[in-house]
């Protein structure tokens, strides 16, 4: 079921399945900014990634001597959330662990996703509560896809509102694991601008670590800013499907990422993993700003 909120500038639609943004319309010209999940290219729009971002090495994690198997990006994106709050500017959805999650992941949790409209901005808030009597380990991330032409649109990378000169991206291994290699690619930027193409994504996602940028903006073929995504976390991804010339790009703020090839699979030792003590609450947020 889809739930809609709007103000004078934006209309936002979110489905309780996956608590996933399905539409974001700029009302002044009725332009749809979000990819509409054509399965010929990619059948999602803006999935929530929890409790895993990317892949476990060999799809497995080990905790307290037990092995758990989980697919890419976790299970939250494929589960029904409960709408627990709605007013004219805000939607809050809740997901709680159950028997199906315990088969894949050892911890109990409450996950809250909140979408708040303010002027031309969508704030996306994440709250994770550890309802266990032991320390909890998890990752969480976003995967919003924005309509654009890869041949003519560009991306502008900024830090502290200033364009940066280059970015270094980690490379996904070409071995079918969907995990991180030790290779890196360096991209020179023209006043912060990176030109997109099929070739740019020929090795899968660009994984950008070490807080190299804190804002990424999609810029149209007339040089006009379309939409910006804040990246306030240690890393983020940029992705469009390999070899499909898809008419969208994903800008993905992450708190976590895939394992490296050969990782020992111990859940508590994952790079960029988040640690939450019993009964503690974790909060984080990012913003989508329509230009």
3-state class of 143 per DSSP?
A: coil
* 3-state secondary structure (DSSP) of residue 274: strand
Mean pLDDT for the stretch of residues 127-148: 98
Per-domain residue ranges for the chain? 2-290
For the domain bounded by 2-290, which CATH number is listed?
2.70.98.10
Classified as helix, coil or strand, 248 is: strand
**How many CB atoms are closer than 10 A to CB 146?**
22
Instruction: Say which residues have a Cβ less than 8 Å from residue 190's Cβ, sequence separation at least 6.
Output: none
pLDDT band at 66 (very low <50, low <70, confident <90, very high): very high
Q: How many Cβ atoms from other residues are within 10 Å of residue 280's Cβ?
A: 12
- How far apart, in whole angstroms, are the C-alpha atoms of residue 70 and residue 195? 34
Where does residue 283 rank: exposed (0-12), middle (13-18), buried (19+ CB within 10 A)?
exposed
253 closest CA partner among 288, 291, 201 = 288
Residue 194's pLDDT band (cuts 50, 70, 90): very high
Give burial (CB, 10 Å; 0-12/13-18/19+) of 56.
buried
Contact 189, 163 (CB under 8 A): yes
Give the residue among 85, 55, 79, 48 at the shortest CA–CA distance from 69.
55
Predicted local confidence at residue 196, as pLDDT = 96
What integer is the mean pLDDT of 45-59? 98
Q: What is the pLDDT of residues 77-129, one digit of tens each?
A: 999 999 999 999 999 999 999 999 999 999 999 999 999 999 999 999 999 99
Average pLDDT over residues 66-71: 97
The reported pLDDT for the residue numbered 176 is 92
Three-state DSSP class for residue 99: helix
């Amino acid at each position: 079921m889809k739930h809609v909120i709007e103000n004078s500038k934006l209309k936002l639609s979110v489905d309780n399945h996956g608590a996933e943004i399905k539409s974001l319309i700029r009302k002044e010209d009725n332009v749809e900014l979000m990819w509409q999940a054509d399965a010929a290219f990619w059948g999602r729009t803006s999935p929530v990634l929890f409790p895993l971002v990317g892949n476990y090495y060999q799809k497995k994690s080990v905790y307290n001597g037990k092995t758990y198997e989980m697919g890419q990006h976790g299970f939250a994106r494929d589960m029904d959330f409960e709408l627990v709050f709605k007013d004219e500017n805000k939607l809050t959805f809740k997901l709680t662990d159950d028997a199906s999650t315990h088969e894949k992941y050892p911890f109990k949790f409450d996950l809250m996703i909140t979408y708040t409209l303010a002027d031309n901005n969508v704030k996306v808030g994440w709250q994770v509560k550890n309802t266990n009597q032991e320390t909890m380990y998890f990752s969480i991330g976003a995967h919003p896809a924005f309509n654009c032409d890869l041949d003519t649109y560009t991306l502008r990378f900024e830090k502290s509102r200033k364009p940066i000169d280059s970015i270094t991206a980690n490379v996904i291994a070409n071995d079918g694991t969907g995990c991180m290699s030790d290779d890196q690619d360096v991209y020179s930027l023209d006043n912060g601008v990176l030109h997109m193409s099929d070739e740019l994504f020929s090795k899968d996602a660009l994984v950008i670590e070490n807080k190299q940028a804190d804002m990424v903006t999609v810029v149209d073929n007339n040089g006009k800013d379309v939409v910006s995504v804040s990246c306030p976390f240690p890393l983020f991804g940029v992705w469009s499907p390999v070899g499909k010339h898809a008419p969208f790009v994903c800008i993905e703020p992450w708190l976590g990422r895939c394992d490296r090839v050969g990782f020992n699979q111990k859940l508590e030792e994952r790079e960029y993993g988040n640690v939450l003590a019993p009964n503690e609450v974790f909060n984080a947020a990012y913003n989508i700003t329509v230009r």
